[in-house]
Amino acid sequence: MKRILVNGAGGFIGGHMVTRLKSEGHWVRGVDLKHHEFCPSPADEFIVGDLSDQRVMADVIDGIDEVYQFAADMGGAGYIFTGEHDADVMHNSASINLNTLHFGVKAGVKKFFYSSSACMYPEYNQTDPQNPKCSEESAYPAAPDSEYGWEKLFSERLYLSCMRNYGAQVRIARFHNIFGPEGTWTGGKEKAPAALCRKIAQAPDRGEIEIWGDGLQTRSFLYIDECIEGVRRLVESDFTGPVNIGSEEMVTINHLAEMIMEIAGKKLSIRHIPGPLGVRGRNSDNRLISEKLGWKPSRPLAEGLRKTYDWIQKRVEASREAELATRA
């Protein structure tokens, strides 16, 4: 049994990781700015605190064997590609990572997992929606299309330099659009699968939904259970990374919307409107993870979408009932 710190335990991936680590019998301390919105945390200790504050970090990292670092100032395209949050995103997330390593190394933490993002890949390799290039070695010359991606790249290098200079054990994954239940589904920070599930659940049959851009931009989406499995396998392996953890099932955003409509049993029309988009195409390249871990994500997108739609549909229904109750 290890003593594990999960930074960002009140968030989507961190919340799922706490559940997984507890099911494996570890002692877990979760830290976040807030409690988990959707479920009580099974962590042995849950501390509400700001990890960009050095005093908080020094306290929570004491006596810890391993750190899973998920805390970041982040959201979907509506949050990270508008430019309005750039300074906060860079400052907050970099501070958390600087503190994690500085105080973690001092406290004798044996291993650090860092959640990087496919957003660090260069824009010039992602202009053709049918042929994006996201193999791990294609990261340089660096040219991410957002400050969020630049911070991830900086922090990857920070973890790797602490490994070289201080002997810290480090594992780094580059996540490609993780989705599933118990993630942000409304409020401006939600990502495409959750936003589309919400819009489709809210729309009357034969109604209309809006999609940013022409909907021909491509992405792949990985269901949360496979993300957690990949992280655990990486952490237990002797491979440092960085390595992609993502699905290779690339779809256009229009196709993603059609898949969700089919699950919902609704026929809706799509109106394309201007909005923040990110790169034109992106897909995970799973050759390295297969080679190093002998494993790669394999479940079909439709399966995860069904579970996610059901969860969001229930929340849409509940908020509709709550609204009706306040009006009555």
Q: Which residues bind ligand NAD (CB under 6 A)?
A: 8, 10-14, 31-34, 50-52, 70-74, 92, 96, 115, 117, 175, 177-178, 184, 191
- The C-alpha atoms of residue 151 and residue 158 are separated, in whole angstroms, by 10
When the beta carbons of 54 and 205 are compared against ligand NAD, the nearer one is 54
State in angstroms the smallest separation of the CB of 89 from ligand NAD.
Answer: 9
The three-point CA angle 168-171-177 to 5° equals 145
When the beta carbons of 126 and 177 are compared against ligand NAD, the nearer one is 177
Identify whether 121 is a catalytic site residue: no
H or E segment and range at residue 114: strand 111-117
When the beta carbons of 38 and 272 are compared against ligand NAD, the nearer one is 38
Identify which of 64, 68, 62, 75 has the alpha carbon closest to the alpha carbon of residue 8: 68
Token pair recorded at residue 70 = 């998920």
Residue 31 phi, psi (nearest 5): -135, 140
State in angstroms the smallest separation of the CB of 296 from ligand NAD.
Answer: 17
State in angstroms the smallest separation of the CB of 8 from ligand NAD.
Answer: 3
- The C-alpha atoms of residue 112 and residue 109 are separated, in whole angstroms, by 8
Query: Closest CB to ligand NAD belongs to which residue?
Result: 11
Token pair recorded at residue 282 = 């992106």
Name the active-site residue from 79, 114, 121, 148.
148
- The C-alpha atoms of residue 12 and residue 205 are separated, in whole angstroms, by 30
When the beta carbons of 121 and 309 are compared against ligand NAD, the nearer one is 121
When the beta carbons of 15 and 129 are compared against ligand NAD, the nearer one is 15
- The C-alpha atoms of residue 234 and residue 246 are separated, in whole angstroms, by 13
State in angstroms the smallest separation of the CB of 192 from ligand NAD.
Answer: 10
Q: If you ran DSSP here, which 8-state letter would residue 194 be given?
A: H
When the beta carbons of 47 and 107 are compared against ligand NAD, the nearer one is 47
State in angstroms the smallest separation of the CB of 176 from ligand NAD.
Answer: 7
Question: Do residues 278 and 146 make contact, with C-beta atoms less than 8 angstroms apart?
Answer: yes
State in angstroms the smallest separation of the CB of 38 from ligand NAD.
Answer: 10
Contacts 24+ apart (CB under 8 A), 21-28: 21/68, 25/1, 26/1, 26/2, 27/1, 27/2, 27/3, 28/4
Q: Which residues are paired to 243 by β-bridges?
A: 173
- The C-alpha atoms of residue 298 and residue 235 are separated, in whole angstroms, by 19
Active site (catalytic) residues: 148
